[in-house]
Amino acid sequence: VDAFTSSPLKGNPAVVLLLDEEKDQECLQAMAQEFNLLTCYVTKVTTLKASKTPRYNLRWFAPASEVELMSSKDVTDYKPNMDEIRKWPGRGVAITGLAPPESEFDFFTRLFSPNFGIDEASPRGGILRLNVDTDIQSVLIAGEAVTVMEDSFVA
């Protein structure tokens, strides 16, 4: 999927897998390594009685490890050492965290990938809308996406 865009080959490329049941971390990591791309696993969980909206667990894995979210303070305070990041064997560093309640934004993401000419930007761009619902402790994610390939994972 090219997420957060209405045009193919724009936005953020990712694999999105809809799972019938939770899988263990080893299995999820192996699949992300197979695709060699950021992989999002979506698993429906039991709907809360107080809400008619179904709830989903989301887990994100890069090819090397699970991607966990940090706080907005950590994100905004982060001061990258570009010379050190250039030495790393990976493609770069992305950090994401929830914004404080007084912010006009719901979250912050920063990407540093100097070996690919991206000191701190996304040349593809993208639009993402989030709504944090503290009553049911969930985050509603909205944005356009373009399916660029569809298939089944059979393993």
For the stretch 21-55, pLDDT in tens is: 889 999 999 999 999 988 988 888 765 566 666 66
Average pLDDT, the chain: 78
When pLDDT is averaged across residues 67-90 and rounded to a whole number, the result is 78
Provide the domain limits for residue 6: 2-146
154: in domain: no
Percent pLDDT > 70 in the chain is 77
Angle at 155 between CA 59 and CA 57, to 5 degrees: 20
Confidence of residue 122 (pLDDT cuts 50, 70, 90): low
CATH code of the domain containing 131: 3.10.310
Q: Cα dist. 85→76, 78, 113, 146 in Å? A: 18, 13, 7, 31
Cα gap 8→103, rounded to integer Å: 31
- Cα dihedral sign for 69, 124, 113, 24? positive
Total domain count, the chain: 1
Looking at residue 131, what is its pLDDT? 73
Cα-to-chain-centroid distance, residue 88: 21
Confidence of residue 14 (pLDDT cuts 50, 70, 90): confident
Q: What pTM, to 2 d.p., does this model score?
A: 0.54
